[in-house]
Amino acid sequence: MEYSIKTDRLDLQPLIESDFDFIRTLNARPEYFQYENERAHNDDEIKKQFDGFLEGAKNLPNKGSIQWIVINNDVRIGEVHLWNWWEKTLEWEIGWHFLIEHWGKGFATEAARAVLRYAFANFRINRIMACPNAANIRSIALCERIGMIKEGQVREVRLLNGVYYDEAIFGILKREFTPAL
């Protein structure tokens, strides 16, 4: 199965071995994990996560994981990832990271919507969720723009630099998703 996705401005290409340097670059940027407590700190940890996505893609479309590299005008600008946490209930989680110089241009919204559209049409999915840090207003706004509904908030489950943060829980069901968005 071909997992490439195209939009008006973007190409989303499934992760391949030659994308490692770009993923390493994303991991090196301080804004990449400003709100996250799970950061790969060295090349070995980054490679382990990277290989996990490559391996997970072999299990698609029923389970597994996939990471798309987001490309605009032949330039890698970010990534969107999707993984199956709960195979029995067909629940998957979506996440994204973009280089800061490409924030505020609608690329993340366009890419995330395209992934939702593609995933609901091609993978065995009933629900897609996102769990941004409740302080990450940009990711929360993105969840809302792509049609996700805030389902709740879990208190003090993220620890960053000695400070606890809440995690927001967003979700969208296949029957709620409007492909035209």
| Residue-number span of the structural domain to which 64 is assigned | 5-176
Which of 107-116, 146-155, 171-180 shows the lowest per-residue confidence on average (mean pLDDT)? Answer: 171-180
Q: Is residue 181 part of a domain?
A: no
Q: Is residue 89 part of a domain?
A: yes
139: which 2 tokens?
Answer: 């990711």
The C-alpha atoms of residue 156 and residue 163 are separated, in whole angstroms, by 9
Note the pLDDT tens digit of each residue in 65-76.
999 999 999 999
Q: Is residue 67 part of a domain?
A: yes
Note the pLDDT tens digit of each residue in 113-170.
999 999 999 999 999 999 999 999 999 999 999 999 999 999 999 888 889 999 999 9
Q: Is residue 24 part of a domain?
A: yes
Whether 134 contacts 65, CB under 8 Å: no
The pTM of the full predicted model, rounded to 2 decimals, is 0.93
Asked whether the CA dihedral 29, 99, 2, 114 is positive or negative, the reply is positive
User: Which comes out higher in pLDDT, residue 34 or 4?
Assistant: 4
Strand partners, 163: 160
pLDDT at 37 over 80: no
Note the pLDDT tens digit of each residue in 8-26.
999 999 999 999 999 999 9
Count of structural domains within the chain: 1
> What CATH number did the domain enclosing 83 receive?
3.40.630.30
pLDDT band with cut points at 50, 70 and 90 for residue 38: low
Q: Is residue 158 part of a domain?
A: yes
Q: Is residue 30 part of a domain?
A: yes
